[in-house]
Amino acid sequence: MDMWLKEGQISDAAMTYKIKETLVTKKTEFQDLAIVDTYAFGRMLILDGIVQTTIKDEYVYHEMISHIPLFTHPNPKKVLVVGGGDGGAIREILKHPSVEKAILCEIDSAVVEECKKFLPEISCALDDSRCEIFIGDGIKYVHEHKNEFDVIIVDSTDPFGAAEGLFGGSFYKEISECLTEDGIFIAQTETPFYLPEVVKSVVNDAKAVFPITKLFMAGIPTYPSGFWSFTVGSKKYDPENIEINRDLDFTTKYYTKKLHKSCFTLPKFVEDLTK
């Protein structure tokens, strides 16, 4: 008998995947967690029925959410990841030799534990000596650390349930205070096809806090519509117009220096959301 996963994050559309094997399912303190092996996308992390990452396409998300801010900042030394318990953002961050410390603040320890077991290709840098894992509330952590980080990456689940507080103006103000005077923040900010109101709201909230706010897009097949947005808020450096003086001396599969600039060129309907 064939087993299929149906993800219905969007009320009037669904994505389905044929499952080869279920590797783990558990109800954590915060959410329902599953890791399955699929025929099309390999092993896949699912939280509350929503696909978070897969072996086949994870590099797109993790490279773009990490290298855009880290190549924008001239000398990133200390980086905070809020969420991102799979470890993919940490893996990409630690490819930058200037980074001395990367802190992963994940509310659900089970995500970290199970990804280490079943998604080692993604979580492989979580044991790096420069990585510190803090299990706890990201909002509280940001509030308690002022003027400390060069880059903050909000690698959250969708803006429902436990992650809802990670979207919005009050949290972005706290992030600004947590950043150094030339700090940069980035967040995944959903799809403009299905959730244009979320994209518009996030950009407006970020604009109210950061003098430079830019939206860019990336193609991620397992995210609804396959067309995903990220929002950058910067105190000083414009990610679209900086000169990248450092060499890209590590391997990437999606990010390039040319793409760094071109990804900020938006389709008209997305550009309209940022006005």
Q: Where are the domains of the chain?
A: 3-54, 58-273
Residues 101-138 as b/e (b if ≥16 CB within 10 A, e otherwise) read bbbbbbbbebbbbbbbebbeebbebbeeeebebeeeeb
Mean pLDDT of 115-136: 98
Binding site for S-methyl-5'-thioadenosine: which residues? 31, 106, 137-138
Residues of the chain with pLDDT > 70: what percent?
95
Residue 268, classed as helix, strand or coil, is: helix
The neighbour count for residue 49, using CB atoms within 10 Å, is 13
Distance, CA of 107 to CA of 267 (rounded, Å): 35
Q: Which of 53-62, 168-177, 183-192, 220-229 has the lowest mean pLDDT?
A: 168-177
Render pLDDT for 200-227 as a digit per residue (tens, 0 to 9): 999 999 999 999 999 999 999 999 999 9
Catalytic residue among 127, 155, 182, 249: 155
Q: Which of 9-23, 214-228, 231-245 has the lowest mean pLDDT?
A: 9-23
Burial of 30 (0-12, 13-18, 19+ CB in 10 A): middle
Mean pLDDT of 121-129: 98
Nearest to 85 by CA among 119, 57, 129: 119
Mean pLDDT of 98-114: 98
Secondary-structure class of domain 3-54 per CATH: mainly beta
pLDDT at position 158 is 55
pLDDT at position 8 is 79
Superfamily of domain 58-273: Vaccinia Virus protein VP39 (3.40.50.150)
205 catalytic residue (yes or no): no
Helix (H) or strand (E) segment spanning residue 150: strand 149-155
Residue 132 structure tokens: 């510190």
pLDDT at position 167 is 53
Burial of 251 (0-12, 13-18, 19+ CB in 10 A): exposed
Whether 169 shows a pLDDT value over 70: the answer reads no
Tokens 């029925």 map to which residue? 49
Render pLDDT for 129-157 as a digit per residue (tens, 0 to 9): 999 999 999 999 999 999 999 999 999 86
Binding site for spermidine: which residues? 62, 86, 155-158
Mean pLDDT of 79-95: 98
Mean pLDDT of 241-250: 90
Distance, CA of 100 to CA of 79 (rounded, Å): 8
Nearest to 176 by CA among 198, 206, 215, 204: 206
Mean pLDDT of 27-56: 97
pLDDT at position 168 is 62
Q: Which of 30-44, 156-170, 228-242 has the lowest mean pLDDT?
A: 156-170
Helix (H) or strand (E) segment spanning residue 203: helix 196-207
Whether residue 228 contacts residue 220, with contact meaning beta carbons closer than 8 Å, is answered with yes
Mean pLDDT of 80-86: 97
pTM across the whole model: 0.95
Mean pLDDT of 86-105: 98
pLDDT band at 246 (very low <50, low <70, confident <90, very high): confident
